[in-house]
Amino acid sequence: MASEDTRIAIVGGGMGGLTAAIALRKIAGVQATVFEQAGKLGEVGAGVTVAPNASRVLERLGVLDRIRRVGAVPDGHGVYQNAMGALVTDAAWEDSAKQYQNIGMYRPDLIDALAQEVDPATIRLGHRLVSVETLGSGVRVEFENGADDVFDAVIGADGIHSVVRGAVGQFPEPVYSGYIVYRGVVDASRLPGDWRMISQVWMGNRRHFMCYPLQQRKLFNFVAGIPSDRPLDGAWSGPAAVGELAAEFAGADWDPKLQEFIGRIEHTFWWGLFDHEPLANWSRGPITLLGDAAHTMLPHQGQGVNQAIEDSMALATFLAAADSVADIPEAFRRYASVRMQRTAILQNGSRRAGAMFDAQYEFADLEKRDADLRVGRDFRRSAVFDYDAQKVAEQALNRFQGVPVA
């Protein structure tokens, strides 16, 4: 940006919002203000995977080394297995150059690693957004606590229930997948000493169970997808009894090793799995969206957080090329035009991946399911993990500006 005095508000202090704040400062030279509705920065204590496509961004933002120090890099490829633990295919959780691998992260650790790169003076806690209004010059934001301010631009990183999304004229209905997940972490000291330090997925009977290491292998994350018709009109998540989870994977049809892992779980929560259809538009004037606010997706490809990180780099790249505040709406429009197709593909791909894991629809034929998983391994590496968000944005910027692209 031409001026460091440009005022940009980021609504949402989660992983996407914090990464956006870092990228705006380091790539575009803008010190944004981050508004978070909670009284402190934090995330529910479960795991998330930082994938190679996001690691590439985080390295350029100067935070990847810190993330690696507090995360867990697996010993090698993950595995997809049938219910009894027989190998279906390995999962190549790395880019083609083998420069980046998946990093298992405890969500509070990832928030902390990102927050250390953001000036605390720019973070406003306890600010729940209630309205966004475009003025003749700037955007007014108002909060439940009575605070209000006017900014040159607003970025909505406020999740699936985004308030900012309404300001760009998008009101998607959440789509329930028909599944809930049980989530949580297990202290690695409770597991057998020879437990594999990789990602493992068991698939069978229209459900699946996944686990992988976190926090320098001190913890293991687990996620179990279960078909459910429980009413979700109210709460979308809550505490659950471990016995409920254990019953879903009981009996002779399931791997005793998986049952042993479940037997070491002390606490779990359930979440309803929702996404929404790809939006028709992300931006309106000096307002745009990022992360789940723009593209809520199911977790089955592990790309929700990683796409928010890609968004952050792309957005900062386009803003860096804006000459003045008056150019921000066009920068936002260009950003959205580049990112919308990428994330729509991954939203749909996440639905398809869940259908594969749980043998739904056309994947009820397990031979076809397993063959598609094997093919998908190489596709995921090339199409998802090798993606360079900054390079793609720079190439698009050249096209917009009429510069020949080699």
Query: pLDDT tens digit string along 337-373?
Result: 999 999 999 999 999 888 888 878 777 778 888 888 8
Question: 3-state SS of the chain?
Answer: CCCCCCCEEEECCCHHHHHHHHHHHHHHCCCCEEECCCCCCCCCCCEEEECHHHHHHHHHCCCHHHHHHHCECCCCCEEEEECCCCEEEEECCECCCCCCECEEEEHHHHHHHHHCCCCHHHEECCCCEEEEEECCCCEEEEECCCCEEEECEEEECCCCCCCHHHHCCCCCCCEEEEEEEEEEEEEHHHCCCCCCCCCEEEEECCEEEEEEEEHHHCEEEEEEEEECCCCCCCCCEEEECHHHHHHHCCCCCCCHHHHHHHHCCCCEEEEEEEECCCCCCCCECCEEECCHHHHCCCHHHCCHHHHHHHHHHHHHHHHHCCCCHHHHHHHHHHHHHHHHHHHHHHHHHHHHHHHHHCCCHHHHCHHHHHHHHHHHHHHHHHHHHCCCHHHHHHHHHHHHCCCCCC
pLDDT at residue 20, rounded to an integer: 98
Mean pLDDT computed over 390-396? 96
Higher pLDDT, 380 or 129: 129
Instruction: Flag whether pLDDT at 295 surpasses 90.
Output: yes
Catalytic residue among 212, 335, 361, 387: 212
Domains of the chain (ranges; CATH) run 8-173+276-400 (3.50.50.60)
pLDDT at residue 3, rounded to an integer: 58
Mean pLDDT computed over 208-228? 96
pLDDT at residue 232, rounded to an integer: 63
Q: Answer whether 0.85 is exceeded by the pTM.
A: yes
pLDDT at residue 1, rounded to an integer: 62
327: pLDDT confidence band, cut at 50, 70 and 90? Answer: very high
Query: pLDDT tens digit string along 129-181?
Result: 999 999 988 999 999 999 999 999 999 999 999 999 999 999 999 999 999 99
pLDDT at residue 368, rounded to an integer: 81
Active site residue 212: yes
pLDDT at residue 229, rounded to an integer: 84
Instruction: Flag whether pLDDT at 405 surpasses 70.
Output: no
pLDDT at residue 401, rounded to an integer: 81
Instruction: Flag whether pLDDT at 233 surpasses 90.
Output: no
81: pLDDT confidence band, cut at 50, 70 and 90? Answer: very high
pLDDT at residue 406, rounded to an integer: 47
Query: pLDDT tens digit string along 12-62?
Result: 999 999 999 999 999 999 999 999 999 988 776 689 999 999 999 999 999
403: pLDDT confidence band, cut at 50, 70 and 90? Answer: low
Average pLDDT, rounded, for the chain: 93
